Amino acid sequence: MLRIAVARSAGLEQGLRLGLRRQWQQPARSWTLIRGYADDRPADKTVLPGVPGAQTGTIAGVPQAPIEATATHNPTQTNLSPNEPPKPPPTPPTPTEVKSNAPAPSTNTGNLPPTGTGTAKTGPSSAPPPKKRRRFRSFLLTLIILSALGYAGGVYYSLVNDNFHDFFTEYVPFGEDAVAYFEEREYRRRFPAREIQGRTWPQTRGENKVTIARQSGVNPRVADENDNAGADLAQKGRHTSAVQENKAKPAESKKEEKPEVTHKLTPKKDEKTVTTPSEPKPTPPAASLVDNQNIAEGQERAVQELVKLVNNVITAVNASPEAPKYANTIASAKSDLDKVIAEIKIMRDQTAQEADTQIKNAHLEFDTAAKELVRRLESEMREQETRWREEYEQERERLSTSYQQKLSAELDAAKKVLESKNQNALLEQEISLQKKFMDSVKAKVEEERSGRLSKLDELSSNVEELEKLTSQWNEVVDTTLQTQHLQVALEALRAKLQESDHPTPFINELVALKEVSKNDEVVSAAIASINPAAYQRGVPSAASIIDRFRRVATEVRKASLLPEDAGVASHAASAVLSRLMFQKKSDRGLPEGEDVEATLARTEVLLEEGDLDAAAREMNGLKGWAGVLSRDWVTECRRVLEVRQAVDVIATEARLKSLLVD
Amino acid sequence: MADKNTSTAPAVAPPTRPNRPLSEALLNEKWDHCLSTLLIRSTLGASFGVIFSVLLFKRRSWPVWAGLGFGAGRAWEECDSSFKRATAPSRDGLRVLRP
């Protein structure tokens, strides 16, 4: 852009400076050309978009027609100004010049705002229009090719690199789809079989699809009554009413009639067949049959057999045609039959009598046998009774003897126990008697002894009392010695504290004091109250404290004028101005007030008087920088005061002890 | 007890703290530090000014003065903050224990 601007400014300079021309331009013509265009511009306005703008307007779609059209000093656009006077044909530019001018009137010139006031401000577009179009086309082509290449490269690289894949799919339009397509292809190439089986198999086979019609299946329908009459018994019909005539009967009755006819026919035939044998009866029977019911002795079985036999014969004779011939014989046979029956009766009676006699004989035999049996049983029972009685007697004797033996044994045992008890009682009595005897002897001996040895006891008690007395006196002596030691140790400590000019440690003295005091509570508490740094490093004397106070006082005085939150300037001012201040003197009494000067003066007086405690209190009241500066001195004073207090406490304790001794 | 420990070793010198000055010498020490920093900073600033004036500003004198002023100003600021911080106890390294 800078370059373009420079080029444009150069072009503008060219336009202004008439002397500087391109070698193929004529100076006078160009000037008139510029002016002429500036004058004629309103007239041209309507013409401009038509002819040359059609060529330039295709460039980048930007409406640049006026600016492009203003490049009137371009010699190639001769048709821009029609009212321009005819001019000689310009010499064509050399190819090198065309190339050098090419960048300046490029498509970007239209985007720039007009810079100068003059109308001849635009850069010359020296490139010919067809060439420009071709260049644009080639530029577009290269752009497309490049972008396609870049897209393809991006797709490929996103297949390779995961990070680039994320970037590409997220930011490049349609990048995700493209990459996904290639990935899908890769996947199919790698797993073809599974792909076919899994997804596309049922579709590619093209088998007949089963389509289910709309009307298929179960659909509701109003039930028809005439459809299946009689199937449903719950329906209303003739079977529910008893009055209604059965319409289905005729068919059934016809069926039933046929077997009736046949049944009726068959018995008729039978009757005919039955009746036929009775027809041939020309001959009368020779004799009537013997009535087996009314015959005598009809109950007898042999008689019945006989009658049957005779009847058979009669029937046989009757059947034969010569029946009348045998009528006599049959009658004799009948009489014989009666005789036989009578004989049978006689025989039966005889056998009955015989049986009665036999039964009587049997009764007699049975009676005798029973009597014999009873007699034998009685004798056996008698024998058994006598045997049992003997056994009972024997058993009773045996039991009585055993019981007597047991009784005698128990009596013996009881006797033995009694004897032993008696012996024990006797032994006890003997022992008690012996004890009593021993006691009496001992008592008598003791009586004798106490009478003589009582004086010895008195002597020993006297000796004990004497020992107690001596020990008490020993204690008194010890305590006095102890108090004396305590006093001595205390004096040593005091001397150590006072004698030295510079601080010296006094640990040894304190140790001695503690040992001498035998762990006295007061003394150990007082020693514990001393700061360890004090007895390790020592305590400064009063003179050194005063000396140090003088040094501290000068420093404090320097910082006496400082405000609360002082910086460098106030510090410097305070250091300078504090030298100009008058010091408060304490010649005529102590000065009053809270200011630093007054405090310092009071402290000095108190120190000179020896009141270290009050001096430390005064200095402790300082605040701010003064307090900070005097802090170390105050702590030192406090340490000294602690030591003094502890020593005082120990001294009073020692005095108290020495008082308690007497 | 401390005295028992010291009774076993009475000759041991007490631990001295050389880094902690006496309280009355506190201000003097600060002043010493301030003056030295002032000197060093202003010298550094002035030398930078000299270098710049030679290199860039055709040996004019104002860069030297400006550098000197920068150095002195830095030293002043540092000194000021040190004086201001001194009265209040430092809170560096302190922690508050919450339950």
A and B: number of Cβ contacts within 8 A: 69
pLDDT reading at A373 higher than 80:
yes
A568 touching chain B per CB within 8 A: yes
pLDDT band at B82 (very low <50, low <70, confident <90, very high): confident
Rounded to an integer, what is the distance from CA A343 to the centroid of its chain? 124
Residues of chain A positioned with their CB less than 8 A from the CB of B27: 555, 558-559, 571, 625, 629
| Residue A40 confidence (pLDDT) | 46
Of A507, A537, A568, the CB nearest to B34: A568
| Residue B65 confidence (pLDDT) | 93
pLDDT, one tens digit per residue, over A383-434 is 999 999 999 999 999 999 999 999 989 999 999 999 999 999 999 999 999 9
CB neighbour list of residue A641: distance below 8 Å, 6 or more residues apart: A612, A613, A616
The residue among B23, B31, B36, B77 with the most chain A CBs within 10 A of its CB, best to mutate, is B23
| Residue A428 confidence (pLDDT) | 94
Residues of chain B positioned with their CB less than 8 A from the CB of A631: 23
Residues of chain B positioned with their CB less than 8 A from the CB of A533: 14
Nearest to A497 by CA among A633, A652, A634, A647: A647
Partner-chain contact B22 A632, CB within 8 Å: yes
Give the residue, A605 or A230, on which the prediction is more confident: A605
CA dist., res. A180 & res. A157, Å (int): 13
CA dist., res. A100 & res. A3, Å (int): 13
Mean pLDDT of A219-242: 64
SS3 labels along A32-69: HHHHHHHHHHHHHCCCCCCCCHHHHCCCCCCCCHHHHH
| Residue A430 confidence (pLDDT) | 94
- Give the CA dihedral A473, A477, A478, A480, nearest 10 degrees: 140
In the three-class reduction of DSSP (H, G, I as helix; E, B as strand; rest coil), residue A104 is classed as coil
pLDDT band at A225 (very low <50, low <70, confident <90, very high): low
CA dist., res. A157 & res. A137, Å (int): 29
Q: How many CB atoms lie within 10 A of CB A653?
A: 20
A131 burial (CB, 10 Å; 0-12 / 13-18 / 19+) is: exposed
Angle, CA A151 vertex, CA A150 and CA A153 arms, to 5°: 60
pLDDT reading at A358 higher than 60:
yes
pLDDT, one tens digit per residue, over A575-633 is 899 888 888 877 777 888 888 888 888 898 888 888 889 999 988 988 888 888 888 89
Give the residue, A323 or A4, on which the prediction is more confident: A323
pLDDT, one tens digit per residue, over B5-24 is 434 444 444 445 555 667 77
Of A505, A552, A568, the CB nearest to B24: A552
In the three-class reduction of DSSP (H, G, I as helix; E, B as strand; rest coil), residue B59 is classed as coil
Residues of chain A positioned with their CB less than 8 A from the CB of B28: 555
CA dist., res. B93 & res. A601, Å (int): 39
pLDDT band at B37 (very low <50, low <70, confident <90, very high): very high
| Residue A14 confidence (pLDDT) | 47
- Give the CA dihedral A191, A194, A196, A197, nearest 10 degrees: 180
A456 burial (CB, 10 Å; 0-12 / 13-18 / 19+) is: exposed
Q: How far is CA A347 from CA A78, A338, A340, A355, in A?
A: 191, 14, 10, 12
Structure-block tokens of residue A477 = 């002596």
Number of residues assigned to chain A: 662
Distance from CA of A649 to the nearest CA of B (A): 18
| Residue B92 confidence (pLDDT) | 77
Q: How far is CA A243 from CA A164, A487, A555, in A?
A: 101, 154, 149
pLDDT reading at A321 higher than 60:
yes
Q: Which helix (H) or strand (E) holds A106?
A: none
CA dist., res. A614 & res. A603, Å (int): 8
Q: How far is CA A159 from CA A29, A164, A168, A178, A185, in A?
A: 65, 8, 10, 10, 12
Residues of chain B positioned with their CB less than 8 A from the CB of A535: 3, 6
Structure-block tokens of residue A572 = 């410097």
In chain A, residues 628-647 whose CB comes closer than 8 Å to chain B: 628-633
Partner-chain contact B24 A507, CB within 8 Å: no
A534 in Cβ contact with A596 (< 8 Å): no
In the three-class reduction of DSSP (H, G, I as helix; E, B as strand; rest coil), residue A412 is classed as helix
DSSP assignments along A417-473, one per residue: HHHHHHHHHHHHHHHHHHHHHHHHHHHHHHHHHHHHHHHHHHHHHHHHHHHHHHHHH
Structure-block tokens of residue B82 = 């040190």
A203 in Cβ contact with A192 (< 8 Å): no
Nearest to A175 by CA among A199, A200, A201, A157: A157
The residue among A568, A603, A635 with the most chain B CBs within 10 A of its CB, best to mutate, is A568
- Provide the residue type at A628 as one letter: V
| Residue A81 confidence (pLDDT) | 46
The CA-based diameter of chain A, rounded to the nearest angstrom, is 219
pLDDT reading at A639 higher than 60:
yes
Give the residue, A312 or A262, on which the prediction is more confident: A312
Distance from CA of A506 to the nearest CA of B (A): 9
Residues of chain B positioned with their CB less than 8 A from the CB of A519: none
pLDDT band at A71 (very low <50, low <70, confident <90, very high): very low
Q: Which residue of A has its CA nearest to B23?
A: A629
CA dist., res. A215 & res. A209, Å (int): 18
B86 touching chain A per CB within 8 A: yes
In chain A, residues 497-526 whose CB comes closer than 8 Å to chain B: 505, 507-508, 510-511, 514
Distance from CA of A535 to the nearest CA of B (A): 9
Structure-block tokens of residue A568 = 């460098």
| Residue A272 confidence (pLDDT) | 42
pLDDT reading at A32 higher than 50:
no
CA dist., res. A565 & res. A569, Å (int): 11
- Provide the residue type at A533 as one letter: A
What is the b/e burial string over A254-279, where b = at least 16 CB atoms within 10 angstroms of the residue's CB?
eeeeeeeeeeeeeeeeeeeeeeeeee
The residue among A571, A633, A643 with the most chain B CBs within 10 A of its CB, best to mutate, is A571
What percentage of chain A carries pLDDT values higher than 70? 66
Of B23, B80, B87, the CB nearest to A568: B80
CA dist., res. B13 & res. A615, Å (int): 30
B56 touching chain A per CB within 8 A: no
| CA-derived radius of gyration, chain B | 23
| pTM for the whole structure | 0.38
The residue among B83, B85, B90 with the most chain A CBs within 10 A of its CB, best to mutate, is B83
Place of tokens 């008082």: A659
Q: Which residue of A has its CA nearest to B10?
A: A507
pLDDT reading at A108 higher than 80:
no
Nearest to A509 by CA among A531, A494, A526, A521: A494
CA dist., res. A561 & res. A557, Å (int): 8
